[in-house]
Amino acid sequence: MGNWFRVWVQPRQVMKEELARTENETGKFILIAIIGGFLSLFVGYQHLGSSMPTFLFVFLLALGGSWIVGLLSLYVMSWLYKWIGSWIGGKGTSLDLRKAVVHGNLKPGIIMSVIALPFVFMVGEAYFISTSNEHFRFIEETFTPLQVWATMALGLTQFAGLVWMIVISLHAIGEAHQFSAWKSLLMMVIMVALLVGLALLLVIPVMLLMAFFGSF
Q: Which tens digits make up the pLDDT trace of 10-25?
A: 999 999 999 998 888 9
The DSSP letter of residue 143 is -
Q: How far apart are CA 155 and CA 149, in angstroms?
A: 10
Give 133's pLDDT tier (boundaries 50, 70, 90).
low
Q: What share of the chain is helix, strand, coil (3-state, %, to 5)?
A: 80, 0, 20
Mean pLDDT lowest among 2-11, 67-76, 94-103, 129-138: 129-138
What is the total count of domains within the chain?
1
Q: For residue 216, is pLDDT > 70? A: no
Distance CA 133, CA 48 (A): 10
Given a cut of 80, whether residue 112 has pLDDT beyond it is yes
Average pLDDT of the chain, as a whole number = 88
Q: What is the pLDDT, as a whole number, of residue 137?
A: 62
pLDDT at 138: 58
Over residues 94-108, mean pLDDT = 96
pLDDT at 212: 64
pLDDT tens string 36-83 = 999 999 998 876 656 667 888 889 999 999 999 999 999 999 999 999
Using alpha carbons, select from 100, 104, 99, 106 the residue that is nearest to residue 40. Answer: 106
Q: How far apart are CA 119 and CA 82, in angstroms?
A: 36
Say which residues have a Cβ less than 8 Å from residue 164's Cβ, sequence separation at least 6: 8, 108
pLDDT for residue 169: 96
Reading phi first (left if > 0) and then psi (alpha if -120 to 50, else beta), residue 94 is in: alpha
The residue range of the domain holding 74 is 2-214
The most confident of the ranges 21-25, 143-147, 189-193 is 189-193
